[in-house]
Amino acid sequence: MRATHTISAIALLSIMSVPAWSGDFATRDQAIAMVKKAVEFIKTQGTEKAYAEIDNKGGQFTDRDLYVVVYGLDGKVLAHGANAKLIGKDLIDAQDVDGKYFVKERVELAQKQPSFWQDYKFVNPATKRIEPKEMYCERLDQTAVCAGVYKGGNA
């Protein structure tokens, strides 16, 4: 029997260590562009170098409330542009504030289609509030490369 970690958006808020950015919020088009850039970077630079750059909060894969996250198709976080404490954790059973198993759903969607949008609720690193979020993901080998926008900032 394997141990699973259920992390709610509220619990994640307590371990978030992201600076509050000023300025406007990212758009859907910027999220798509960021994911495509990350996928290309992973393909050309390899996972070790690419994941280190994705994990770098001051790097090219973090912009305001927009950051890249890479999940293995088993639900394990491989890279995270907003919260290094989540790297290596199995979040397959993570739920948002409404009880939605958003990582499990994300993995299932990535196994079925090459790219997709997913809705759930998550802590916005810029506002520190739980907000509706749309995550854009592309499958790359046995991973899902994702970046999302918060609807609260794009209303």
Q: What's the CA gap between 27 and 126, in Å, rounded?
A: 14
Residues of the chain with pLDDT under 50: 1-23, 154-155
The pLDDT, as a whole number, for residue 14 is 32
* pLDDT value, residue 154: 45
**Domains of the chain, each with CATH number or no CATH:** 24-153 (3.30.450.20)
Side-chain-side CA neighbours of 39 within 13 Å: the count stands at 20
Q: What was the pLDDT predicted at 9?
A: 38
Residues whose CB falls within 8 Å of the CB of residue 147, separated by 6 or more in sequence, listed in order: 26, 31, 34, 35, 38, 61, 66, 67, 68, 69, 135, 136
How much is the pLDDT for 47? 97
The pTM (predicted TM-score) of the whole model is: 0.82
Residue 19: per-residue pLDDT = 36
Please name which of 29, 25, 117, 14 lies closest in space to residue 65, comparing C-alpha atoms.
25
What stretch of H or E contains 38? helix 28-45
Predicted pLDDT at 4: 41
Provide the pLDDT for residue 124: 81
The token pair that represents 75 in the structure block? 């639900």
